[in-house]
């Protein structure tokens, strides 16, 4: 569904590329997580997928980005936005309406969705994000976390093949963040949507992602199944990416020859493994 070939982008006024040498293949219907330190190029990768580059930022674009076989450089921004729904990091800049329902209607009407289909799309998207009760609220009166859910719901209503989210849970506590991931993953499974999400919470990504991408200084440092990436917890720590402490603990025991089982990606696995170590 998504192919990046030697993708590189340099902002016009910068001497160094923001991202470089990015090669990624993301299968249809999969869930990809992207994390890495601040400034490592995570948002730039989302811009490559939603067409913000090359269309909105001046700069040099090298390589190829293909979405469902369409080269983004040969596809209009309008056509890209029909394939790729995206929720940007600064959600306040994304809202166009003042009431939640109007925000959802704006996108659907703009996309020319048949009028008789619109009410069901709105209901489904609000329910998918668990915010049916917010329908008539003023967006300005919502909490940061509620706004994030509204922004996601208004994109889900458009039924994009690819969903790109840049730090969608930044305003949410751990329990609500996990709830958003559960809702998203459930929606994506039912609709066959390909999901790409930038997220700081690596434990959360590991739980949901098929592919975990770690960015460092504009390059892909690791791109693999979450367990294979988390096996490198010491290297991740050295570039400023903190693995769950339970993962780091079990990796250290493994390095010391005290544990030989699989990488532990969550506390439950680690506590079971630890009981075997001490048995
Ligand atoms: P992340 O999302 O991982 O924090 P970004 O993709 O936002 O990183 O940034 C990648 C690099 O591009 C950083 O070095 C950042 O300073 C630079 N950058 C981001 N936005 C701009 C911009 N509008 N103009 C010039 N450089 C930028
Ligand atoms: Mg960012």
**Tens digit of each residue's pLDDT (9 = 90 or more) over 14-66:** 999 999 999 999 999 999 999 999 999 999 999 999 999 999 999 999 999 99
pLDDT in tens, 79-124: 999 999 999 988 888 999 999 999 999 999 999 999 999 999 999 9
How far does the centroid of ligand 2 lie from the alpha carbon of residue 156, in Å? 21
CB-ligand 1 contact for 28 (6 Å cutoff): no
pLDDT band at 180 (very low <50, low <70, confident <90, very high): very high
Q: How far is CA 3 from CA 48, 136, 148, 188, in A?
A: 11, 39, 27, 19
* Cα separations in angstroms, 243 against 166, 203, 229, 248, 260: 20, 7, 10, 6, 19
pLDDT in tens, 211-234: 999 999 999 999 999 999 999 999
Mutation pick for ligand 1 pocket among 17, 39, 197, 218 (CB with most ligand atoms within 8 Å): 39
Mean pLDDT of the chain: 95
Q: What is the pLDDT of residue 171?
A: 87
**231 Cα–ligand 2 center, Å:** 25
Q: Could you tell me the distance, in angstroms and rounded to a whole number, from the CA of residue 100 to the centre of ligand 1?
A: 30
CATH superfamily placement of domain 2-95+157-232: P-loop containing nucleotide triphosphate hydrolases (3.40.50.300)
Is the distance from CB of 247 to CB of 265 less than 8 angstroms?
A: yes
Distance, C-alpha 8 to centroid of its chain = 20
| Predicted local confidence at residue 279, as pLDDT | 85
C-beta of residue 34 within 8 angstroms of C-beta of residue 201: no
pLDDT at 184 exceeding the cut of 90: yes
Residue 164 has a pLDDT of 98
Are 35 and 91 in contact by the 8 Å Cβ rule? The answer is no
What is the C-alpha separation between 205 and 211, in angstroms, rounded? Answer: 9
**Model confidence at 242: pLDDT above 90:** yes
CA distances from 137 to 6, 110, 141, 157 (A): 45, 21, 7, 18
Location of each CATH 3.40.50.300 domain in the chain:
2-95+157-232
Determine if ligand 1 sits within 6 Å of the CB of residue 38. Answer: yes
3-state helix, strand, coil in the chain (%, to 5): 45, 20, 30
18: closest CA among 50, 56, 55, 57? 57
Which single residue is written with the structure tokens 């990416």?
241
Ligand 1 atom, smallest distance to 45 CA: 6
Q: Where are the alpha helices (H) located in 37-140, listed in sequence order?
A: 42-50, 52-55, 77-83, 100-110, 118-128
* Model confidence at 7: pLDDT above 90: yes
Gap between the Cα atoms of 128 and 124, Å rounded = 6
Q: How far is the CA of 190 from the centre of ligand 2 (A)?
A: 28
What is the reported pLDDT for 115? 95
Give the three-state DSSP class for 264: coil
Q: Is 199 in the pocket of ligand 1 (CB under 6 A)?
A: no
Q: What is the pLDDT of residue 86?
A: 96
CB of 111 closer than 6 A to ligand 1? no
């Amino acid at each position: 569904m998504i192919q990046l070939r030697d993708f590189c982008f340099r902002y016009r006024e910068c001497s160094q590329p923001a991202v470089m040498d990015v090669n990624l293949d993301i299968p249809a219907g999969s869930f990809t997580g992207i994390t890495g330190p601040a400034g490592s190029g995570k948002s730039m990768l989302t811009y490559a997928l939603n067409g913000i580059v090359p269309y909105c930022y001046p700069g040099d674009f090298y390589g190829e980005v293909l979405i469902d076989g369409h080269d983004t450089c040969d596809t209009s921004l309008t056509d890209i936005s029909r394939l790729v729904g995206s929720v940007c990091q600064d959600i306040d800049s994304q809202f166009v309406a003042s009431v939640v329902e109007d925000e959802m209607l704006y996108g659907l009407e703009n996309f020319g969705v048949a009028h008789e289909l619109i009410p069901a799309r709105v209901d489904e998207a609000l329910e998918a994000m668990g915010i049916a009760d917010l329908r008539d609220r003023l967006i300005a009166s919502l909490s940061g976390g509620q706004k994030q859910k509204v922004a996601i719901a208004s994109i889900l209503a458009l039924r994009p093949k690819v969903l790109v989210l840049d730090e969608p849970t930044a305003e949410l506590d751990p329990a609500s963040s996990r709830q958003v991931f559960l809702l998203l993953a459930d929606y994506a499974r039912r609709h066959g949507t390909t999901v790409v999400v930038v997220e700081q919470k690596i434990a959360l990504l590991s739980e949901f992602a098929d592919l975990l991408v770690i960015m460092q200084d504009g390059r892909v440092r690791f791109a693999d199944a979450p367990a294979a990436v988390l096996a490198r917890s010491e290297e991740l720590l050295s570039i400023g990416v903190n693995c769950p402490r339970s993962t780091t603990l079990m990796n250290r025991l493994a390095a010391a020859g005290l544990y030989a089982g699989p990488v532990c990606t969550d506390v439950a696995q680690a506590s079971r493994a630890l009981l075997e170590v001490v048995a």
